Amino acid sequence: MYDTMYFEALASQELKDSFPLISGILRLAVKYLITSYRKRCIGILSCYFPSGATWTFPKDFPGIRPSQCGAMISLARELNLLALLPSAFLILASYLTISSKTESIYAMPSLTTQDKADLCHGTLGLLTAQADDMFPFPHFFTPAETCQASGNCSVEAGSKNYRRQPYRVFIFVHEDFLNVKAVVCEACWVNVKNIFREGRQKTWERLPEIFHLGKDWNELRRIQDNDYS
């Protein structure tokens, strides 16, 4: 633990290899109030479970497995790492909407009954936020003011996946929207991407509330750092 390069080595490892070691260091850091070690461990975990105010794509996703999310949630509850919880729930919710994963996720021993309830209610809230803010265009599309097709562009043919699967979490979808690009002009395609990005950021900001974890990100970080400032 006195080797300053050790944390750099941990940061370069895959989560499945580094998580047990980081968990051990965190428990020691909390027990003995070693603030610097706690912050460095949180910094490494934040790459996989982002906790900033701005949307960030998780490192190594979709390589992060449901069991690792469950372990992160359990550790965060144990050690007051509240700002890491929303993204862990978000990743788990994305797996939950894949039917083949549902049973195994709810059977994970690392999740408490309350965690499972928060996950269930949060997933429903996430799907609603997704439909309202990230993907309104498959249902209500307004061509861009600078539409190069005289306002006649339509995304219906390019957004079938989103209309047919309203139960899927699409927050990790790539932003290129090539299916949409193929059927609309450049201006409308850019407009669709901007709507998605703005809606994704809005949904991200609401994650603590959606999963019943707290009022907002600032509150989670304030509580997380309260005893270690």
Whether residue 126 lies inside any domain: the answer is no
78 shares a domain with 154: no
Whether residue 30 lies inside any domain: the answer is yes
Q: Is the peptide bond before 20 cis (omega within 30 degrees of 0)?
A: no
Helices and strands in the chain, H and E counts: 12, 0
107 shares a domain with 39: yes
How many domains does the chain fold into?
2
Whether residue 1 lies inside any domain: the answer is no
140 shares a domain with 112: no
Decide: helix, strand or coil at residue 4.
coil
pTM here is 0.91
Can you give the pLDDT at residue 1? Answer: 62
Distance, first Cα to last Cα, the chain: 21
83 shares a domain with 46: yes
Q: CB-based contacts of 102: which residues, under 8 Å, 6+ apart?
A: 96
220 shares a domain with 136: no
163 shares a domain with 66: no
Whether residue 127 lies inside any domain: the answer is no
101 shares a domain with 13: yes
Rounded Cα distance, 87 and 82, in Å? 10
Whether residue 162 lies inside any domain: the answer is yes
111 shares a domain with 20: yes
51 shares a domain with 18: yes
Q: Are 67 and 25 in contact (CB under 8 A)?
A: no
Determine the structural domain holding residue 181 and report its residue range. Answer: 132-204
100 shares a domain with 28: yes
Can you give the pLDDT at residue 141? Answer: 87
Along the 229 residues of the chain, how does pLDDT read in single tens digits? Answer: 666 678 888 999 999 999 999 999 999 999 999 999 999 999 999 999 999 989 999 999 888 999 999 999 999 999 999 999 999 999 999 988 876 666 678 788 899 999 999 999 999 999 999 999 998 888 888 898 999 988 889 888 878 877 778 888 888 888 788 888 888 999 999 999 999 999 999 999 999 999 999 999 999 999 998 855 4
Rounded Cα distance, 23 and 68, in Å? 12
Can you give the pLDDT at residue 228? Answer: 55
Whether residue 125 lies inside any domain: the answer is no
Can you give the pLDDT at residue 124? Answer: 93
94 shares a domain with 163: no
Here the tokens at position 186 are: 């450049």
Whether residue 219 lies inside any domain: the answer is yes
172 shares a domain with 83: no
